[in-house]
Amino acid sequence: MRRKAVFTKLIPALIASGTLLATEPAAETSWYQETLYPEWGQTFAIEKMIHQEKSDFWDLAIFENSFYGRVLAIDGIIQTTEKDEPVYHEMMVHVPLLTHGNASSVLVIGGGDGGIIREVLRHETVKKVTMVEIDNSVIELSKKYLPTLSNGAFDDARLKLVIQDAAKFVKETDEKFDVIICDSTDPEGAAIALFTSEFYGDCHKCLSPNGIFVNQNGVPFLQKGELKMSFENRSPHFKNVSYYVAPVPTYVGGYMAFGWASDKNYRVSTKTIEERMKTVKGKMKYYTPAVHKASFAIPQYMQDLME
C-alpha cells in the first residue's frame, strides 16, 4: 500500500521504471520489483497479468502470483494480495469495532478493494456503513478480478457508497459515525490530504461521543517520517493518540502501524472482547482477542518517534 516499483525480466534485467507492460516473450518469467527503498527490496513473480488499466487517478494492475494469489497494484505500488490481506483487514476493523463494543454507524475512507467493508459488515451491531472512495475504477476492478476480498459486501443493503474526495466529504458532511476507518495509501499525491491536521480535525467532528478513528500508517521501521507526522497531526484533535501494530508479510520491513485516535481512554479486557466476538459472523484468519491486546504493545523505536 506504499511502494514505488518497476517490472523486470530475468533477461533483460530492467524493462522500464513505473511501467506495467512487459515486451519479452511469454516463456520468460516476468518479475515485479519494488523500489521504494534504495538499499533493498522484494520481487514478485508474475505468473499471469490479469488486467491493466489507467483510470482518471491511477495506473491499475492485477496479476497472479503462485504463492500470494492475485495481487493488486496501483501506480506501481502493491496494495493487497489474496494470501495475506486478512491480517491487514481484520486488524484494521476488529480492533476498533470490538473496542467500541456497540458501533452502529461506520465510515470507511478508501478501501476500494472491499476488504474493509467485508470485515465491518460481519458485525451484527453495524446498521450502516458509508464508504467514500475517490475512484470507482478500483471498486469495479476489485469486484471483477478480486471478488474474494469483498465477498459480496458491495451488495449488502447496509452499505452506502460515495464516489468523492474523502477530505471534502468529512469537511462537508453532517453525519456522525461511531468508528472511522481510513484505509488510504501513504501520503503521496491525492492521499496527502488524508494525513493533515485539518483532515483529522474534520474526522473528529464527524465522530459520535466515544468514537474511534483508525488509519494505516506504513511500516515505521523504514517510514519513520510518516508515523511521526501522523502522530503530531492527530494529537491536537484527540485526547488519546497512539498506535497498534500487526505483521503483514507483503509490507516488508517489520510491523505495519495502525494509527489510533479517540477521546475516550478505552481499557477493554480480553474477556470482554471474547464476549463481543460472539456478535461477529464467521471465523477469523488472523485476529484473536489476545492478539488484539498485544498489538498495543509497541516497540521502543516507535515510542521514541511519538516523543
Which residue is associated with the grid cell 495475506?
84
177 & 120 share domain? yes
> Can you say how many angstroms the Cα of residue 222 is from the centroid of all Cα atoms in its chain?
17
Q: Are residues 75 and 94 in the same domain?
A: no
* pLDDT of 7: 42
Which of 81, 96, 131 finishes a domain?
A: 81
Is 77 found in the same domain as 91?
no
Same domain, residue pair 72 and 128 = no
Q: Which residue has the cell 518479475?
A: 31
- The answer to whether residues 174 and 244 belong to one domain is yes
Residues 44 and 187 in one domain: no
How many independent structural domains does the chain possess?
2
Could you tell me if 24 and 155 lie in one domain? no
Residue 188, pLDDT score = 75
Q: Which of 105, 172, 168 is nearest to 134 (CA)?
A: 168
Same domain membership, residue 270 and residue 153: yes
Q: Give CA–CA dist 208/103, Å, rounded.
A: 10
Name the domain boundary from 44, 65, 81: 81
Contact between residue 95 and residue 292 where contact means Cβ atoms under 8 Å apart: yes
> Which CATH number is 235's domain given?
3.40.50.150
Q: What is the pLDDT along the chain (307 residues), one digit of tens a residue?
A: 444 444 443 323 333 334 344 434 445 778 887 767 778 778 889 999 999 888 777 778 899 999 999 998 877 778 899 999 999 999 999 999 999 999 999 999 999 999 999 999 999 999 999 999 998 888 998 999 999 999 999 999 999 999 999 999 999 999 999 999 999 877 777 788 999 999 999 999 999 999 999 999 999 998 899 999 999 999 999 999 999 999 999 998 899 999 999 999 999 999 999 999 999 999 999 999 999 999 999 999 999 999 8
| Structural domain harbouring 296 | 85-306
Q: Are 165 and 268 within one domain?
A: yes
Cα–Cα distance for residue pair 224/204, rounded to 1 Å = 24
Contacts of 212 (CB under 8 A, 6+ apart): 96, 99, 100, 103, 178, 179, 180, 260, 261, 262, 266
The rounded distance, in Å, linking the Cα atoms of 36 and 41 is 7
Which residues does 235 contact at the CB level (< 8 Å), separation at least 6?
241
Q: Which amino acid is at 112?
A: G
| Domain-terminating residue out of 55, 81, 107 | 81
Q: Do 53 and 101 reside in the same domain of the chain?
A: no
**Cα–Cα distance measured from residue 189 to residue 181, given in angstroms and rounded to the nearest whole number:** 20
Q: What is the CATH number of the domain that holds 22?
A: 2.30.140.10
- Domain shared by 11 and 45, yes or no: yes
Distance between CA atoms of residues 5 and 215, nearest Å: 23
Q: Please tell me whether the peptide bond between 12 and the residue prior to it is cis, using omega within 30 degrees of 0.
A: yes
pLDDT at 185: 79
Active site residues: 183
In terms of C-beta density within 10 A (0-12 exposed, 13-18 middle, 19 or more buried), how is residue 37 classed?
middle
The rounded distance, in Å, linking the Cα atoms of 153 and 109 is: 15
Same domain, 274 and 234: yes
